[in-house]
Structure 1
């Protein structure tokens, strides 16, 4: 029934609701600059009115309201915009990672300076041309030796810097693995807290904001898929994975049910030939693969070693990928969450987990994490590029050594006892194992430049410059460089009529192939391809930056805090609060009139 006390209760409810609205507005204003914060709104609803149908309820003029109550405090969030931002975060992470390292590769090649490889190649051929005009001069011979040494030193330096850059890239992957596992643990903890608060009947808005912020950060590392569950819980897994049979259908990183298995990542630190194996790194054979649980390399207690057979392609894939699926404790697993057999740092076999069984370490069993997007993919794919550039440099170094050595010695194949101009600087190095990292000018020639063969004869003096001229002409000779591989020999490159007697010069000369490239042209092709890839990565980053900025602006317009709007809301709430207070004051006066007026 209605009355003054009922009216006072309505006003009290109104003040209480408006007070809560003031608290929410104050919270919004306080977090106006907080990353990941979503503005909150107080949703109000009328309380149950008087005059609800019942046996004792007399017919009256209508239901009489009893005031207002806060039904919930909700955050304003657009899940579709979240999805778009996270998808673009993956693309941005991919190309930012690629741009970072490809730009460094460009700086290593250093082609804009006078010490670039292509400029030094030109200088070497010019020095041979100059030597052909003054074949008996020790000065011109010294110039040839020194220019050639400068070239090989630059190739050695480029090779070593690229190799170090690849190691740096792998170090970044290791750090990413550690960071990702840490974020997944935080997301999992927040997920359980969100569910607990929901069970209690409250809205965990701030907890969900923190979870969403971490998910946003995680989405830049690799593509993610989120399955919404009851009580605002979330199950999180990778969008895709190309490392072997796809395990992403059943392997989750975060589960709403805390009793379910979740996955993490581990980092492969080394891949070395097993003891007693005779293959070189990268060749087919048995390897000891060492990984660190959860990517934590701070202690050897996390180190586990598996022994497995790898082909050359499998070795390359694992070397460039480096990330393994693991269980929550960090042990490598297969698609069924079975642990892979291995030996820990104490030379003990890894333990089994629950009802799961351990499986053998084979290429088919281990699950590599090779996503199609995100930073991880960027760093993995750029290693492929670096390996390609190293291989291209190796092929070019072989082409230089084989062609010059062939003309210098007059032999189509590597012949015992011949005086090679370019050699493999490693101990007992073979010519067919020459790379950009070990190519060098023969030490005997550096000591005595008069050993350089310049003319038709084998004796240093007197002589003509025909052989030196033939070597200088190699600048314009097209060689089948693209067909060179790790096992290619000089005889294989210069097979058939590719190497024959030149009737004009009177010495054996390398002949051009119809589908080949010049040595300088080959290097120019390498740098052009690098420039194209780098520019594409830069352009994609620029475009995605603009796209992400637009998406973030749209998301902020919905979820962000507008101080002007909040101040306007505060004024409105303040007036409502004051009006409710005035009602209480009015009721107080009326009650005073009734109570005290009856005494008169």
Structure 2
């Protein structure tokens, strides 16, 4: 029914509604600089009217329908996708810049310069083979070259191990974020099931998912109670629908070592290098059947209780398309490739020089280049251990210069052949494999002391320059992608802020509007009080 007291209630609902609107604007202003906060808006709704006979429906006031977050879900998906790509290339850029510092090309002290100096010294030795100083220069320049190779290989190994450590920390952060989202899922469920909207909790969870997108790509689904499930392709990382469980965790393969009986795998479960460090022993066939198991590989393992153990069959491949995890995983493989390419260069030079220097291992001759323990086994020589035979380091007279290994006076033909090896066009990376496939005579001419040019082969200098070119292209691509992604994500974030961000000017304008509405409703009550006073005290009763 209508009347003064009914109108009192109408004005009261107006005051309460405007008061809540003022409180919401105050909350927005207070969180104007809070990371991840989305501005909130009060949605008003007229209260149910009643029917007045002969008149129609009469309003009864206002009620708050909801307090909603202003957020564009589709824009969130776009930002997370682009952020994951940005994270991938930022990780690559960070490591590739350090790789460039290791190679230091072009440079007066780089490997290419020291390699050229080595070949030049052999050329000079061929002109004066009886000169002890020329032999010493060959030794010293060759040692400089091998020491440079050793140092580069070790630096790449150190950088690879550092990258694996960073990858472990990144996996640990990802697992930690998933646990925090799991906790927020529980809190959101308890609020949502009461019919309320936990706006601030939703903001916190969205912020965590934004941070997770820097690490990896994923898809999100939400149930009717606001709980989210997070999946990566076919793998469920967080099952919000069925018990809000985390059944799998992201793990990293730290190291794979060969043993007498097979291999040992050092696994960092959940990225926890203390509690999650696990060592498994496997056979050669098992490792071959799991080609994804490499140092720095990202896998997922079942989440087990502390003190429990996992088996080799529990380790599954975890495919990441984008994000820091993908970036660090790719760069670890690339660092391994650079090491293998330097190994190929070291073995090819060692094989070529030793073949000429010893006349194909003629009895009584010693190799010029050796590996650890003075081994001349070419399969045991790599960029990390190549050096000059210790016997030659002690006595430079053991450097063979003439075609006759007995050393005819003034004969520098063998030294010249070694110097000319720099111009041979050989399949450097597959040089040793090519030797194994062919007969010696088809590759090396003993009489002329030269290697025949191989179709599609390259010189040692060109081979090394190709490595540098590949590194430069990779770094340039990473720099370009980081720059492009930063520009793109910046534009998307600006759109997001224009929608979800708090505008102080807008909130102050809203405050004035709500204040005036509140005062107007208060004026209605004051008017009604005056009407009651007239009715009660001035009717002459």
**Unaligned stretches of 5+ residues in structure 2:** none
Partners of 1:162 and 1:386 within 8 A in 2: yes
Which residue, 515, 527, 531 being the options, matches 1:574?
515
Pick closer, same or farther for the CA change 1:257–1:313 going to 2, 3 Å: closer
CA RMSD of aligned residues (A): 2.3
Q: In structure 2, what is the equivalent of residue 125 of structure 1? A: 119
Q: In structure 2, what is the equivalent of residue 587 of structure 1? A: 528
Partners of 2:219 and 2:231 within 8 A in 1: yes
Q: Distance in 1 between matches of 2:326 and 2:179?
A: 22
1:467 Cα shift? 1.7
Residue 361 in 1 paired to residue 312 in 2? Answer: yes
Which residue, 127, 135, 158 being the options, matches 2:129?
135
Q: In structure 2, what is the equivalent of residue 430 of structure 1? A: 377
Which residue, 344, 355, 359 being the options, matches 1:395?
344
Q: How does 1:531-570 map to 2 (within 5 A)?
A: 531-570=472-511
Pick closer, same or farther for the CA change 1:101–1:314 going to 2, 3 Å: farther
Deviations, residues 59-106 of structure 1 (Å, cap 9, x unaligned): 231221111111110001111111111111121111111122122212
Q: In structure 1, what is the equivalent of residue 441 of structure 2? A: 496
Pick closer, same or farther for the CA change 1:194–1:429 going to 2, 3 Å: farther
1:298 Cα shift? 2.5
Aligned residues: 540
Which residue, 278, 294, 314 being the options, matches 1:319?
294
- SS across alignment from 1:268: strand
- SS across alignment from 1:33: coil
Q: Distance in 1 between matches of 2:292 and 2:452?
A: 38
1:548 Cα shift? 0.9
Residue 228 in 1 paired to residue 213 in 2? Answer: no
1:174 Cα shift? 0.8
Q: In structure 2, what is the equivalent of residue 211 of structure 1? A: 205
Pick closer, same or farther for the CA change 1:310–1:537 going to 2, 3 Å: farther
Which residue, 71, 78, 81 being the options, matches 2:72?
78
Q: Distance in 2 between matches of 1:494 and 1:222?
A: 51
Q: Distance in 1 between matches of 2:115 and 2:368?
A: 15
Pick closer, same or farther for the CA change 1:126–1:8 going to 2, 3 Å: same
Q: Distance in 2 between matches of 1:255 and 1:97?
A: 30
Residue 253 in 1 paired to residue 238 in 2? Answer: yes
Partners of 1:198 and 1:232 within 8 A in 2: yes
Q: Distance in 1 between matches of 2:418 and 2:376?
A: 24
Q: In structure 2, what is the equivalent of residue 263 of structure 1? A: 248
Q: How does 1:114-513 map to 2 (within 5 A)?
A: 114-238=108-232, 240=233, 247-248=234-235, 251-258=236-243, 262-274=247-259, 276-277=260-261, 286-299=262-275, 302-311=276-285, 317-329=292-304, 350=309, 361-362=312-313, 366-411=315-360, 414-415=361-362, 417-426=364-373, 428=375, 430-459=377-406, 462-484=409-431, 488=433, 495-501=440-446, 508-513=449-454
Partners of 2:38 and 2:70 within 8 A in 1: yes
Partners of 1:266 and 1:330 within 8 A in 2: no
1:490 Cα shift? 6.1
Q: Distance in 2 between matches of 1:30 and 1:377?
A: 38
- SS across alignment from 1:406: helix
Q: Which moved more, 1:515-524 or 1:136-145?
A: 136-145
Q: Which runs of 4+ in 1 moved over 6 A?
A: none
Partners of 1:454 and 1:467 within 8 A in 2: yes
Pick closer, same or farther for the CA change 1:428–1:127 going to 2, 3 Å: closer
Partners of 1:432 and 1:489 within 8 A in 2: no
Partners of 2:172 and 2:272 within 8 A in 1: yes
Pick closer, same or farther for the CA change 1:22–1:171 going to 2, 3 Å: same
1:539 Cα shift? 0.8
1:256 Cα shift? 3.2
**Unaligned stretches of 5+ residues in structure 1:** 52-57, 241-246, 278-285, 332-343, 351-357
1:287 Cα shift? 2.2
Q: Distance in 2 between matches of 1:326 and 1:599?
A: 89
Q: Distance in 2 between matches of 1:265 and 1:164?
A: 24
Q: Which moved more, 1:307-316 or 1:383-392?
A: 307-316
Partners of 1:294 and 1:329 within 8 A in 2: no
Q: Distance in 1 between matches of 2:115 and 2:439?
A: 21
Q: In structure 2, what is the equivalent of residue 47 of structure 1? A: 47
Partners of 1:457 and 1:463 within 8 A in 2: no
1:402 Cα shift? 0.9
Partners of 1:133 and 1:465 within 8 A in 2: yes
Q: Distance in 2 between matches of 1:170 and 1:197?
A: 41
Q: Distance in 2 between matches of 1:22 and 1:540?
A: 45
1:397 Cα shift? 0.4
Pick closer, same or farther for the CA change 1:142–1:314 going to 2, 3 Å: farther
Residue 16 in 1 paired to residue 1 in 2? Answer: no
Q: Distance in 2 between matches of 1:73 and 1:117?
A: 66
Pick closer, same or farther for the CA change 1:328–1:317 going to 2, 3 Å: closer
Pick closer, same or farther for the CA change 1:426–1:373 going to 2, 3 Å: farther
- SS across alignment from 1:232: coil
